[in-house]
Every structure is written in C-alpha cells, then in structure tokens.
Amino acid sequence: MLERNRSKAAAATIQEITAQYDRIALVFQGGGALGAYQAGVYQALADAGCEPTWLSGVSIGAINASIIAGNEPSRRLQRLEQFWQTVSGRKIWAYTPEGDIYRDIRNQTSSFMTMAMGQPGFFKPRSPNPWFQLAGADGATSFYDTAELKDTLESLIDFDVLNDGRKRLSVGAVNVRTGNFVYFDTDNVRIGPEHIMASGALPPAFPSIRIEGEYYWDGGIVSNTPLQYLLDQEEDRSSLVFQVDLFSARGVLPRGMADVLSRHKDIMYSSRT
C-alpha cells in the first residue's frame, strides 16, 4: 500500500511539472543494443503519466522513437517489446552458470555469431563479401543487407498514425555526397520506413538508403545526440526535454585493449551538449 501511494504521489508530481510546459520532448541517441534502455525510459515516463509530444532520434534511437510515434498509446510498449525480442532473440548458452566470467563469454560469443550470421528481423551478411564484388554492385558498399529491417518496421509501425500530427517525430541522417546532417521531420515530410532506415544506416556495416535521389547514412556519424535540432527551433514555446544518454563522456583510464575500444566508443558517441 505504501509503495502504491508513493507511485501515485510521484505520478502526481510529474504531471504537475509537465503541465507547466507547452511541449514535452524525448531525445534518443544512437547506440545499437544499448537502445533497449530507451524503451525502459519511455515505459517509466508512460507509467508516470508523462507522454512526450515530440520525439527525436538517431540510429537505434530513431527506430525506438518511430515505434512510439507510430502506434496508438495502448500498443506502444507492446510494439517496443516486440521489436527488441525480434532483434535479440538468439539465445547463447542459456544454461551456463551465472557470474561475470560466464556472462562475458556469452556476450562475446553472441556478438561473434551476430557478426557472422546477422540478426533476425534486422540484417543478414552479404554473399559474396563486398570486398569480392564489383564496384557499383548493389552489395559492394556494405557487409550486411538490411531488407529484413524494412519488413520489421512495416509490421510494427502504423505509418498513418506516425504522420497524423498527434506527435512530432524527427530522425537524423547524413547525406553521403555532401556530408551535411539532415533531419526528416513529420512537420514537413511524410516519414516512411526508408527515413528510419537511413538514420540507422551505419557504414560500412549497413548500406546507404536512397531517398528522392540522394543517399543517406547513420546520423551518428556527425551527431549522435539529436538535441540541438530541438533547441534551434525558432518557436516561442516552453519545452521540457528528456535526453537519454547511452554513452558516458567521463570514464576511467583504460587498462587493456578491450577497455581502450570501449572508452573510445564512449567518447566518440557521448553527448556534446
């Protein structure tokens, strides 16, 4: 009973706070499998009665944001869970003992198998390898084919709902030819699966995505945190922004090569805002 009362009090407090703002925004970074944490953040906000009116995302963050914006409220959490179960369904050594050593072995083995075999509902390896394909061939510029991701997005997202104006959605990508960062925004374009895939097309793993004659890669190449776009809007509206960081700008001094690679990734993709 005490816990329930605390939850009600917390929800009331959050609702009182959000009522003071014209707009509630949720900002999702790119971060691969770490994007599962973003689903948990949205669930916590939804449970507290805080529903964002604007979602902005890059890479995996664009996928999570699109699933939220592209479903009715009663289906959003279900669809998020379905997506993460789809793309993380391979079980590795499920019956090995618990502990850090065994967990590390399972994780490393799972990563290796994903690199070799792809991820169901997301991507599969090219055959032959792009190094052995002729320049200009469809499979010559990426190690994986992401056609399965398009099918997954179309099965989990109602694009009529996504574009009906009830929620604003912005996803970031970079133009391959110009190097310019762009946002696909439901305020000025009808967003489809290709825009979401473009935001997550990280080279050289994934192929660039063609949209209206131009080709796009993962927005995280230029900016992994799509906050500045919200701040740049010339609108006289008060905004409450929740930014979900997946990488830490601060960390300890690496002690081995694995630590070096991890720390390098944290610094490269952490927020600069």
Domain ranges across the chain: 2-92+147-269
pLDDT score, position 113: 65
Give the C-alpha separation, 193 to 57, whole Å. 14
pLDDT score, position 41: 95
pLDDT score, position 165: 95
Which residue has tokens 């006289």?
236
Residues 67, 121 contacting (CB under 8 angstroms): no
pLDDT score, position 247: 79
**Angle between the 60-69 and 76-87 helix axes, to the nearest 10 degrees?**
150
pLDDT score, position 198: 98
CATH number of the structural domain 2-92+147-269 = 3.40.1090
| Assigned token pair, 115 | 């690199």
pLDDT along the chain (273 residues), means of 10: 48 74 93 92 92 96 98 96 84 59 62 70 88 87 94 98 97 98 97 98 96 97 90 84 85 87 81 60
Indicate left, alpha or beta for 255 from its phi (over 0: left) and psi (-120 to 50: alpha). alpha
pLDDT score, position 116: 64
